[in-house]
Structure 1
């Protein structure tokens, strides 16, 4: 009799626990247009913060110069390649620097993660830029990039 009551109690307990599955819903690898707009909007916000936090004048030993990438008057495909080149420039020349003023450019921070995410969904191949290209200070590079991202943001529906 005790065994029967115990078995019934276990049966009731097991039947009342929720069943969860490990099946995840299918998600498409290409983001919807509203996701593009959200990513670009976050990039705008992060660039504004990075520009405000980054000093306009740096000591000579902390000056960073990046390739002067053509960021104005680009169509959609050219802008995708540009954003990939921007990510490469920031990763190779700024992300690894350990000073607090370069904190926004670490690969684990929101600015670089969003840039990487945008590129992951849009760029098939990324042309490397010419090493002989003119260089500009990081602060100017960021201002040019902000203008280009704002332009891209305004064009996404």
Structure 2
């Protein structure tokens, strides 16, 4: 019985640690986004609801960034790049399905602001995981 409890605890801790590492890597990649990439381009994304910064937000952010990679030459947001791979893995680990961004969420914001909001949510979620 002790062995099972110990094993369960190890799995729980390693899962939280993995999520924490993914968030840290996502944050690093967002910081490394070249500023020149964001200048001079009129790229707008749908504004997402950020009150809670939970799974749905990260999942919808991934969807929106995939659209950016399809519409532009922004290589940084391709699905095989580190930022998008980590965001996808983080979303997949939650085990929940992702609802598409609602059509009525037609408020558009510039890519730069979208990434700043994403970075704040990553930081907030990262700090919440570290508290637990």
Task: State the TM-score, normalized to the length of structure 1.
Answer: 0.68
- 8 Å CA contact 1:51–1:139 kept in 2: the answer is no
Q: Are the structure 2 counterparts of residues 56 and 123 from structure 1 closer, same or farther at C-alpha, using a change threshold of 3 Å?
A: farther
State whether residues 41 and 153 of structure 1, in contact with CA within 8 Å, keep that contact through their aligned partners in structure 2.
yes
Match of 2:54 among 68, 71, 79: 79
Higher helix share goes to which structure?
A: 2
Contact 1:80 1:123 in 2 (8 A): no
Say yes or no: does 1:156 pair with 2:124: no
Change in 2 beyond 3 A, CA 1:131/1:111: same
* Residues 22 and 86, structure 2, Cα contact 8 Å, conserved in 1: yes
Give the secondary structure class of the aligned counterpart of 1:43: helix
Aligned residues: CA RMSD: 2.0
SS in 2 for 1:46: helix
Alignment of 1:134-153 (within 5 A): 134-153=107-126
Out of 96, 105, 109, the residue aligned to residue 70 of structure 2 is 96
Q: Which runs of 5+ in 2 are unaligned?
A: 1-10
Superposed CA offset, 1:100-152 (max 9, x none): xx121011100000000001111411122222321111111001100110111
Structure 1 position 49 matched with structure 2 position 71: no
Structure label with greater radius of gyration = 1
The 3-state SS of whatever aligns with 2:29 is helix
Distance in structure 1 (CA, Å) of the matches to 2:97 and 2:110:
27
Extract unaligned runs of 5+ from structure 1: 1-27
Q: Does 1:32 align with 2:25?
A: no
Cα deviation for residue 98 of structure 1 reads 4.9
